[in-house]
């Protein structure tokens, strides 16, 4: 029960040394803010496969992690309220500093981000049987992927719950709706491509979200989904300290099996599943690999590539196609 306070103590010491007293106060305020959000919405059914066979996987405060025994979906239970999440995503003590860090990272490593987008788009175009004329990016943040698509001549739309980031995207000329996907005024079957980069795990109801996405995709439309990979080697080795385990930001933790089940239930045909490092630090992967094998740098990187080929990397990507009615 002392793990979180201990982690806060050591982080506080480092922040005080490097950035001073006021930064230390902000770190403590963020910690208190996150852990005052109580879980109040209790789930008794797996949102991926519909099974009632769920049990505690990891005891936590203020909400524990449960796992479905049928499809291995992991999720916080109970979930926070919609109002608590709205406060979290709009607060200086909550999520706003994280998205500002994302802006700094994007500016600093633009070429890396561009390479990432090019990789996604190449796979999409190789799979698609229709011309991609428009795109909807869910949880679009500042709209960086939309800007990339717009430069490619693709009409770009976004949905973003955070006011600060959606306003910035709108100022750049992006058509971004500030709110939830369920509230967005888009017509059924109107999109050739829908993307969701690390957004589904934030949702209070991923099942409802995926079915809504299916309704917005045109026949043979493409849905690209990227999430943290609970099937990854790092997550399986040390889930309790995994960097992508984050209350109350990340509420659901998917693996290839349960995501495929959910997507197929919603009317999608899964075309490609793969994993990669994504935005994570590969040093965590290397740390776990070194527990199992020894070798030189070349051999370690070969092991890392092998890891991704087995869908054991920390970012899981699934590309699916909307089935014909």
Q: Which of 78, 68, 96 is nearest to 42 (CA)?
A: 78
pLDDT score, position 208 = 97
Scanning 20-81, the segments in alpha helix (DSSP H) are: 21-36
Distance CA 252, CA 70 (A): 15
Contact 266, 213 (CB under 8 A): yes
Distance CA 147, CA 285 (A): 31
pLDDT score, position 295 = 73
pLDDT digit string, tens, across residues 120-176: 999 999 999 999 999 999 999 889 999 999 999 999 999 998 888 899 899 989 999
More confident residue, 282 or 104: 282
Residue 323 binned pLDDT confidence (cut-offs 50, 70, 90):
very high
Distance CA 85, CA 21 (A): 28
Q: What is the arithmetic mean of pLDDT over 109-127? A: 92
Contact 72, 252 (CB under 8 A): no
Q: Give the domains, in start order, of the chain with CATH numbers.
A: 1-36 (no CATH), 111-322 (3.40.50.150)
Q: What is the arithmetic mean of pLDDT over 46-54? A: 97
For 16, residues 6+ apart whose C-beta sits below 8 A from its C-beta are 23, 24
pLDDT digit string, tens, across residues 63-103: 999 999 999 999 999 999 888 887 787 766 666 656 667 67
Residue 314 binned pLDDT confidence (cut-offs 50, 70, 90):
very high
pLDDT score, position 148 = 95
Residue 41 binned pLDDT confidence (cut-offs 50, 70, 90):
confident
pTM, entire model:
0.86
Distance CA 317, CA 245 (A): 18
The encoded tokens of residue 148 equal: 């990339």
Q: Whole-number mean pLDDT of the chain? A: 86
319 phi and psi angles, rounded to 5 deg: -110, 125
């Amino acid at each position: 029960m002392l793990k979180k306070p201990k982690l806060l103590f050591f982080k506080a010491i480092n922040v005080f040394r490097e950035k001073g007293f006021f930064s230390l106060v902000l770190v403590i305020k963020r910690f208190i803010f996150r852990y005052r959000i109580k879980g109040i919405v209790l789930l008794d059914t797996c949102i991926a496969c519909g099974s009632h066979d769920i049990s505690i996987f990891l005891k936590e405060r203020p909400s524990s992690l449960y796992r479905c025994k049928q499809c291995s979906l992991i999720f916080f239970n109970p979930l926070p309220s919609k109002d608590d999440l709205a406060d979290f995503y709009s607060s200086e003590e909550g999520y706003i500093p994280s998205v500002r860090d994302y802006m700094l990272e994007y500016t600093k490593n633009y070429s890396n981000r561009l390479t990432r987008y090019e990789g996604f788009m190449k796979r999409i175009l190789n799979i698609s049987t229709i011309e991609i004329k428009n795109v909807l990016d869910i949880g679009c943040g500042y709209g960086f992927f939309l800007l990339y698509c717009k430069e490619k001549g693709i009409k770009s739309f976004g949905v973003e719950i955070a006011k600060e980031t959606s306003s910035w995207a709108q100022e750049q000329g992006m058509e971004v709706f500030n709110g939830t996907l369920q509230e967005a005024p888009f017509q059924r079957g109107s999109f050739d491509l829908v993307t969701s980069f690390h957004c589904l795990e934030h949702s209070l109801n991923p099942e409802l979200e995926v079915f809504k996405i299916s309704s917005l995709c045109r026949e043979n439309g493409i849905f690209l989904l990227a999430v943290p990979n609970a099937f990854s080697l790092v997550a399986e080795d040390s889930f309790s300290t995994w960097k992508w385990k984050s209350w109350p930001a990340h509420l659901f933790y998917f693996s290839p099996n349960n995501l495929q089940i959910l997507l197929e239930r919603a009317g999608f045909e899964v075309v490609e599943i793969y994993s990669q490092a994504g935005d994570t630090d590969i040093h965590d992967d290397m740390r776990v690999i070194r527990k199992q094998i020894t070798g030189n740098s070349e051999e370690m990187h070969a092991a890392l590539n092998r890891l991704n080929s087995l869908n054991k990397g920390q970012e899981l990507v699934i590309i699916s196609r909307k089935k014909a009615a």
